[in-house]
Chains A and B, each alone.
Chain A
Amino acid sequence: MNQKKSLWKIITGSREVSLLLILIVMLIVVQILSRGTFLTPTNIGQIFRNNALTMLMALGMLCVMLTAGIDISITSTLAFTGMIIGMLQKRAGFTNTFALFLLAALIGIACGFLNGLIISKGHLAPIICTMGFMYIWRGLAYVVSNNQWASGADVAKFAEFGKDGSVGPYIILIIAYVVFFIVMKWTTFGRRIYAVGSNADAARVSGINVDRVLIQVYTIMGLLAGLAGALSVSIYASAQPNMQYGKEMDVIAACVIGGTSMNGGRGSVVGTFLGALFYAVLAKALPLVGLDSIWQNLIKGVVVLAVVLINVLTQRTMDRAALERREM
């Protein structure tokens, strides 16, 4: 039997490969349009630093979406934790960077756990439950702020970790992606998440505790959102209650561009990385190729739709090819 696949089959047979190709084409086009000024080490560093929060949270969103769920409370969790650790520095003078990150992670875990508990045990639709918490955590962020900000001077020491030129954010991203890549592919824990999203009833019958898996994925999402809260304070050297407002959609978009299915069971860490990177490159490239900022949202939207449509069409071609193989 001929095991070698044709190049075309490899491209259409894997969403990751087709997305990578689209990404490369886009990079080439932008590089030409910007007359070679785009792909510089500084710019590449900027792309990752500016999108570190989205990239980090996209991993959690991948897990949530694999179970056919969604979490729109993440940037509120981010703001809530960010505000707490910002205010701890401003009012209590607490400046141990590691302890602050740990605290942010714990707060995030608590927030995510609540989501998971209510969604699994209360059988609430994920979008409704997380919408509730979207308002609650954002509201609490305002309460914590008490009409004040934590400014650059308040968080000066903490901001060392994430300031321009520091390797801190990159290290967090690299660790997170490596850990998730391994966990999602090579551990039973990761595969349970896929199983629950692919067919929850079957998972139940094969003895998988579906509720526990749901609680776990929302808790992971919360953990990452909490870490992103600390990271945000560190990178932007400030904490405000309206931070990252509305950016949860960027995270979801990154996952969807990366081939994650809203119906669950389909998606990968590599795809999510490429999706987030695609989104980040797009945001950085538009001004560089001379497009006014007023056009940016419009173009972002069109490109997102186009990529997802290509994804859907690829999937349909794959399904159809499989159907044609059926003996009749």
Chain B
Amino acid sequence: MSEDLILELKGITKIFPGVKALNNVQFQLRRGEVHALMGENGAGKSTFIKVITGVHAAEEGHMYLNGKEVHFKGPKDALEAGIAAVYQHPTTYPTLSVTENIFIGHEFVKRGMIQWRQMNQEAKKLLDRLDADFKPGDEMGTLSVAQQQMVEIAKALSTNAKIIILDEPTAALTANESEKLYRIVDQLREEGVSIIFISHRMEDMYRLASRVTVFRDSQYIGTYDVDKITEAELIKAMVGREISDMYPKPQVKIGDEVFRIEGMSRTGYFKDVSLNIHAGEIVGLTGLVGAGRTETMEAVCGITKADGGKVFVDGKEVHIKNPADAMKAGIVLLPEDRQKQGLILGWGLGDNVILPVQDELAKGPFKVKNEAKERELAKKYLEEVDTKAVTIFDPGSSLSGGNQQKVVVAKALVQDNMKVLIMDEPTKGVDVGAKAEIYSIMGDLAKKGYGILLISSEMAEILGMSDRIYTMCKGRITGCLDIQEASQERLLELSMENSRTTGKEAVK
């Protein structure tokens, strides 16, 4: 049987300095099908998409469009060939209007002049079709992530693309918005558009796709018919092993409350957020992208300013105006973006680790740097987290993502008054092996009696490591579950549902 393939890729290998991001992968897309592409974070899906759209050039491999081999030199070639992509992180122009964001690169031009009126009308039509609740003239930067995602989809629609790639389009959407998107995808398929759909959500795949291709560790694992593969088989293909041995969650005796926030609010980001953590407890905080988890914790740590709310450590209220106050109070944040906020990449690892205590170590009235003591401490803590670094003088940029994260943990440990550790997406972009190590460090810290808040969008990780789990949705706490009553479905439901418990009830 000859298949009607609109797009085929064979033997694609993409190498970034030091890593093989794609290793001899293949992919086939039939005309008019919705094809799911699945795999863990870092499996190479996003890189693969960027090869298709011409953003990255592959080192090896061939790509065939309608049976003819094509070579895209840049994103423009792919667009002209009828391939449009909606990326995971909206690639938008925050200072420009919605209309302009939709039509940039393919504006309506008559006699050299942009036809704004016509474009605004067309944009309005597209937004109406998506049932969007904003106007073409709105400035992009003022929209929420979900709304920006919709603009991106409108943009793909506006190019009349024959192949549309959606990279985790539902990650930031509510259940209603997702359903709307499903209907749009159905509609597009009926119009003969072929769709590649990347998602972590099983429900997306079951609802939409007819076939699914799995990548793992930069390699092609297989392509399956959705109705012929069970969820367990699919997870095994994605993860490569049973999931239970991934999370070494120790049984720790939970102590007294070490940390509590009450009624934290910041206009436009989060509202009335309350939660607490006990000694030795790992508390999960999950929700969809843009739910306000990171923003809340940044406000708790004094990085941004909250409009209201109280923070308690060991039952005593603390007033935090800046990150130094938070550190003094024993609250340490491992930021989501470790390259930007966690480490100074150009500095040696040792200097990075002792940065929070450099002042305390310094000698005499003129605060002379105490190099000997610094080295000793840096060595001690870097060994404790077992980084692969050779010396404490290696620059932060020389390490992989996972090892960088461990250095950030060492930097937290060096602060000996630490009571609470807030870990924001600690395993994002980290390979499977390093992930397991970070989990084991997390377990050790809980054993030592620290209170840990684990912010994560990865359900498996949240379910595998937490004692108790809070969910957030649109800036509010929507639930608090003990690990025994938590399940992936329940958490997703709470992350998306519109009814909410008030912050007060959520504190147990």
Instruction: Write the chain A residue with the least CB distance to B53.
Output: A205
Within 180-219 of A, Cβ neighbours of B (below 8 Å) are at 182, 185-188, 191, 194-195, 197-199, 201-208
Specify which of B113, B269, B476 is in contact with A187 (CB 8 Å cutoff).
B113
Residues of A within 8 A of B96 (CB): 194-195, 198, 265
B96-111 interface bits toward A, Cβ cutoff 8 Å, 1 = contact, 0 = none: 1000100011010100
User: Would B93 and A326 count as touching, CB distance under 8 A?
Assistant: no
A322 at the interface (CB under 8 A from B): yes
Residues of B within 8 A of A194 (CB): 93, 95-96, 100
Specify which of A191, A323, A325 is in contact with B114 (CB 8 Å cutoff).
A191
Chain A nearest CB from B263 CB (Å) reads 14
A163 at the interface (CB under 8 A from B): no
Residues of B within 8 A of A182 (CB): 113
A266 at the interface (CB under 8 A from B): yes
B268-304 interface bits toward A, Cβ cutoff 8 Å, 1 = contact, 0 = none: 1111000000000000000000000000000000000
B59-84 interface bits toward A, Cβ cutoff 8 Å, 1 = contact, 0 = none: 00000000000000011100100000
Given contacts A191-B107, A207-B105, A319-B142, contact A202 B474 (CB under 8 A): no
Q: How far apart are the CA atoms of A266 and B141 in the complex, in Å?
A: 12
Q: How far apart are the CA atoms of A319 and B474 in the complex, in Å?
A: 18
A292 at the interface (CB under 8 A from B): no
B94 at the interface (CB under 8 A from A): yes
A171 at the interface (CB under 8 A from B): no
User: Would B144 and A326 count as touching, CB distance under 8 A?
Assistant: yes
User: Would A187 and B76 count as touching, CB distance under 8 A?
Assistant: no
Give the total of A residues in contact with B, Cβ under 8 Å. Answer: 33
Q: How far apart are the CA atoms of A38 and B211 in the complex, in Å?
A: 77
A285-327 interface bits toward B, Cβ cutoff 8 Å, 1 = contact, 0 = none: 0000000000000000000000000000000001110111111
Residues of A within 8 A of B104 (CB): 191, 195, 206, 208
B24 at the interface (CB under 8 A from A): no
Q: How far apart are the CA atoms of A187 and B100 in the complex, in Å?
A: 12
Instruction: Write the chain B residue with the least CB distance to A321.
Output: B142
User: Would B267 and A323 count as touching, CB distance under 8 A?
Assistant: yes
B112 at the interface (CB under 8 A from A): yes
A7 at the interface (CB under 8 A from B): no
Instruction: Write the chain A residue with the least CB distance to B266.
Output: A323
Q: What is the size category of the interface that chain B forms with chain A?
A: 20 to 34
B245-277 interface bits toward A, Cβ cutoff 8 Å, 1 = contact, 0 = none: 000000000000000000000011111000000
Residues of A within 8 A of B142 (CB): 318-319, 322-323, 325
Specify which of A318, A324, A328 is in contact with B474 (CB 8 Å cutoff).
A328
Given contacts A207-B75, A265-B95, contact A186 B113 (CB under 8 A): yes
User: Would B268 and A202 count as touching, CB distance under 8 A?
Assistant: no
Q: How far apart are the CA atoms of A191 and B93 in the complex, in Å?
A: 11
Q: How far apart are the CA atoms of A206 and B91 in the complex, in Å?
A: 9
Q: How far apart are the CA atoms of A325 and B135 in the complex, in Å?
A: 13
Q: How far apart are the CA atoms of A191 and B269 in the complex, in Å?
A: 31
Residues of A within 8 A of B109 (CB): 188
User: Would A207 and B74 count as touching, CB distance under 8 A?
Assistant: yes
Residues of B within 8 A of A188 (CB): 107, 109, 114
Residues of A within 8 A of B113 (CB): 182, 186-187
Q: How far apart are the CA atoms of A320 and B267 in the complex, in Å?
A: 8
Chain A nearest CB from B268 CB (Å) reads 3
Instruction: Write the chain B residue with the least CB distance to A263.
Output: B95
User: Would A328 and B91 count as touching, CB distance under 8 A?
Assistant: no
Q: How far apart are the CA atoms of A326 and B139 in the complex, in Å?
A: 14
Given contacts A191-B114, A327-B474, contact A202 B55 (CB under 8 A): no
User: Would B91 and A201 count as touching, CB distance under 8 A?
Assistant: yes
User: Would A208 and B268 count as touching, CB distance under 8 A?
Assistant: no
User: Would B476 and A328 count as touching, CB distance under 8 A?
Assistant: yes
Residues of A within 8 A of B79 (CB): 206-207
User: Would B475 and A328 count as touching, CB distance under 8 A?
Assistant: yes
B87 at the interface (CB under 8 A from A): yes
Instruction: Write the chain B residue with the least CB distance to A182.
Output: B113
User: Would B91 and A324 count as touching, CB distance under 8 A?
Assistant: no
Chain A nearest CB from B339 CB (Å) reads 15
Chain A nearest CB from B398 CB (Å) reads 21
Given contacts A205-B75, A205-B87, A324-B268, contact A195 B474 (CB under 8 A): no
B92 at the interface (CB under 8 A from A): yes
B347 at the interface (CB under 8 A from A): no
Given contacts A187-B112, A191-B100, contact A208 B95 (CB under 8 A): no
Chain B nearest CB from A143 CB (Å) reads 40
B393 at the interface (CB under 8 A from A): no
Chain B nearest CB from A67 CB (Å) reads 12
B206 at the interface (CB under 8 A from A): no
User: Would A186 and B93 count as touching, CB distance under 8 A?
Assistant: no
Residues of B within 8 A of A204 (CB): 55, 75
Residues of A within 8 A of B271 (CB): 328
Residues of A within 8 A of B92 (CB): 199, 202
Residues of B within 8 A of A195 (CB): 93, 96, 104
User: Would B267 and A324 count as touching, CB distance under 8 A?
Assistant: yes
Residues of B within 8 A of A208 (CB): 104-105
Given contacts A188-B109, A206-B105, contact A198 B94 (CB under 8 A): yes
Instruction: Write the chain B residue with the least CB distance to A190.
Output: B114
Within 224-257 of A, Cβ neighbours of B (below 8 Å) are at none
Residues of B within 8 A of A327 (CB): 144, 474
Residues of A within 8 A of B116 (CB): 186
Q: How far apart are the CA atoms of A327 and B91 in the complex, in Å?
A: 23
Within 140-166 of A, Cβ neighbours of B (below 8 Å) are at none
Chain B nearest CB from A73 CB (Å) reads 26
Residues of A within 8 A of B268 (CB): 320, 322-324, 326, 328
Residues of B within 8 A of A264 (CB): 95
User: Would B105 and A186 count as touching, CB distance under 8 A?
Assistant: no
User: Which of B92, B93, B100, B475 has the most A CB atoms < 10 Å from its CB?
Assistant: B93
Residues of B within 8 A of A323 (CB): 142, 267-269
Q: How far apart are the CA atoms of A228 and B87 in the complex, in Å?
A: 45
Residues of A within 8 A of B107 (CB): 188, 191
Extra contacts, 14 of them, besides A206-B75, A326-B144 (Cβ < 8 A), are A187-B114, A191-B104, A194-B93, A198-B96, A202-B92, A205-B87, A207-B105, A261-B95, A265-B96, A320-B268, A322-B268, A323-B269, A324-B268, A328-B474
Which of B's residues lie within 8 Å of A, judged by CB?
53, 55, 74-76, 79, 87, 91-96, 100, 104-105, 107, 109, 112-114, 116, 139, 141-142, 144, 267-271, 474-476
Question: Can you pick out 12 interface pairs between chain A and chain B where the beta carbons lie within 8 Å of each other?
Answer: A185-B114, A186-B113, A187-B113, A194-B100, A197-B95, A202-B92, A205-B55, A206-B91, A261-B95, A318-B142, A323-B142, A328-B474
Top 9 A-B residue pairs of the complex, sorted by shortest distance between their CB atoms: A323-B268, A207-B76, A322-B142, A265-B95, A198-B93, A202-B91, A207-B75, A198-B95, A186-B113
